[in-house]
Amino acid sequence: MNQPTLASLATELGVSRQTVSNVLNFPDRVRPATRAHVLEAIERSGYRPSAAARALRSQRAMALGLRLSQRRNGISGTIVDGFMHALVQRADQRGYRIVLFPAATNDEEVDKLIELRRSLAIDACILTDTWYGDTRPAELAEEGVPFASFGRPWDGVDHGRWADVDGRAGAREATNHLRGLGHRRIGFIGWADGSPVGSDRRAGWVEALGLDPAGADALTVEGDDSVLAGAQGMAELLGRGADAAVCASDTLSLGAFTETRRRDRGDVRLVGFDDTPISRTLGLDSIRQPVEEVAAEVLDMVLAQLADPETRFEGRLVRPSLVTHERPDFLAT
């Protein structure tokens, strides 16, 4: 079977060869509907553009820099892994490779990205783990390094080159789900590290319940992102009369679940975040984060900048979804 080419794809789709080329090299020049149609055909056919030929034509490295995330909790860390996996796959379909590198601090990350760009080892980069006071976007912009981030700016100037999961909306959905099941005193188990992501999720829970600050504090327990902290938090909430809980992660949800099992409180329902394999195995409801969609958005932003450095962007919040699971027979109460 012959390998697909630009010409054969163009013939199959009834478009010009230049249109297919633009989708791969300058996606912003193609209408969204046409771009999606062409990308679907490219993925289905298994076509892979010649990176060497494209690099020679464009004088580009055909590579994007990405900091290798630090080791995380074995449960919640699956989200970052999922994002990286989706990003590598999407970039490969567009003829780009991802250059991973370690960095212990944000300053070291920026220094390495600037050096990689100056040495023509990468064309652009992707940031993750945004936080309050994050100076990386401004520093990269000053050095002329194209970038986009998985994670919004939590304060300061909004550069617009970001996509993120709407954790607040996810927490509202989780809370409303528990209310729909008849629960009325719904607690929140979160993180004590000041995480903007955790604060955003807690805000969604507060909004869904219409709590004032005192009421929210009375039903909030925070700790580190561990099973033990989840168990301790659930024990504390049960002591305060909670009959359900929204957890900032599946790690905390797992800990909370062990405490409800220990107390034989099968009536207490939980909703975590990330829809990890452990939540599916134990039948724990969770909020699924669409990291594949975020990866696609971030990649499109980076490539659009390479096609036209003057492109302006608006950040995009991607809505997560609630996933309910049946409790397995061996855990039935």
Write out the chain's pLDDT in tens, 333 residues.
567 777 888 888 888 888 887 887 777 788 888 888 888 888 787 776 655 455 445 567 899 999 987 766 556 567 888 999 999 999 999 999 999 999 999 999 999 999 999 999 999 999 999 999 999 999 999 999 999 999 999 998 899 999 999 999 999 999 999 999 999 999 999 999 999 999 999 999 999 999 999 999 999 999 999 999 999 999 999 999 999 999 999 999 999 999 999 999 999 999 999 999 989 999 999 999 999 999 999 999 999 999 999 999 999 999 999 999 887 766 655
**Does residue 120 share a domain with residue 268?**
no
**Does residue 257 share a domain with residue 245?**
yes
Helices (H), the chain: 6-13, 17-25, 32-45, 51-58, 78-93, 106-118, 136-142, 167-180, 196-209, 213-218, 227-239, 250-262, 277-282, 291-307
Domain annotation covers residue 100: yes
**Does residue 219 share a domain with residue 272?**
yes
**3-state class (DSSP) for residue 188:** strand
**Does residue 152 share a domain with residue 81?**
yes
CATH of the domain at 327: 3.40.50.2300
**Does residue 153 share a domain with residue 301?**
yes
Sheet of 321-323, strands arranged across: 220-223, 186-191, 244-247, 269-273, 285-288, 321-323
**Does residue 237 share a domain with residue 183?**
yes
The whole-model pTM stands at: 0.80
Domain annotation covers residue 78: yes
| DSSP-assigned letters across all residues of 210-277 | T--HHHHHHTEEEE-SSHHHHHHHHHHHHHTT-SEEEESSHHHHHHHHHHHHHTT-TT-EEEEES--H
Domain annotation covers residue 45: no
Number of domains forming the structure of the chain: 2
Instruction: Give the model's pLDDT for residue 321.
Output: 97
**Does residue 115 share a domain with residue 97?**
yes
**Does residue 105 share a domain with residue 230?**
no
Determine the structural domain holding residue 200 and report its residue range: 167-289+323-331
